Homo-oligomer: A and B are copies of this chain.
Amino acid sequence: MAATIRDIRTQTGLSLATISKYLNGGNVLPENREKIETAIRDLNYEVNEIARGLVTNRTKTVGMIVYDIESMFSGVLIRYVGDSLRREGYALVVCDSCNDERIEADNVRFLLNKKVDGILIIPVSRKADFLLRAKEKRVPVVLMDRSFADSDFDCVKIDNRMAAYRAANYLLERGHKKIAIIASRVEYTGWERFKGFQEAMGEAGITVPEEYCKIGVHTIEFGHESMLSLLELPDRPSAVLMTNYETSLGAVMAVNESRFDCPGDISMMGFDDLIMSHVVKPKLCMVVQPMKEMCEKAVELILSQIGGDEKRPPIEISMGTTFRDGNSVKPLQGK
């Protein structure tokens, strides 16, 4: 049996209160402190977090609900979040929504039942209803990567419209006019990015033909097939913007398998500098999200909610993106 606080009492002759206080960083006479410390060592004592949790109503555990754990993007977020949390002694319980709103709602219930101290979530649903229970129970929630139309939750994401807007302008400035896009109607981010793209094109006075707009899902497959069909178009675009990691990867593969050359025949601009870019040829120009910073910020927010007694208004953080230069975009003569 593991040693308990009582065993320490019998060995030191001190009272439970004193020992507890010591364990929680209170002030104790140096002489007693000494005694306790040796007792802890002798007995191999470790606090029982469960017992502590029962009284403090804290579990030192936070839940993270991701839209799809098989996506690279989720994987990276889990990693950074896990790291940051761990550094503060918190465990991370991961739940996968499999891109399904029903499962997502279920995940929230599950985590609340497990008494997590807070929930980080990359939501699938576009409405916040399913988070109501968390709010009722006053379990802090932080949205990541995506937000709701009128959310009053903390949220950490990037400015998706702006990112795509700037990406489109980058291409426009280099003389491209026939620009296609591979985006998503399912994923919030894909949709936002599509709007940013449209905005830039609109301002440039260009109407994007329908066959240049590949709006589907953020998967490797979709990126792949979209790029293939774009390449086969009679009036081939001169540049393509892929709005996330998976579609970027799929599109690059498609081009490399084809008889076309990038950037010779077609220019490409991607999203999310994960592994691929260090490997793939050509070196892809891309919009880079500050993944690590996002995660650290999200953890900071959730911990501040957990620790904070006075509740503050929700904070929505929109981070900027950066460009990574490559050689996948050819400047055209025009302009």
Contact = CB atoms under 8 A, between A and B. Distances in A.
Interface of A: 2, 46, 48-51, 53-54, 59-61, 69-70, 72, 74-76, 78-79, 82-83, 86, 91-96, 110-111, 113-115, 137, 220-221, 224, 250, 253, 256-257, 275-276, 278-281
Contacts of A2: 137
B76 A94 contact: no
A250 B279 contact: yes
Contacts of A220: 275-276, 279
Determine how many copies of this chain the complex contains.
2
**Chain A at the B interface: SS class:** helix
B93 A93 contact: yes
A69 B82 contact: yes
A110 B94 contact: no
Given A82-B96, A279-B253, A70 B61 contact: no
A75 B79 contact: no
Contacts of A137: 2
B82 A114 contact: no
A318 to B, nearest CB: 26
Contacts of A76: 70
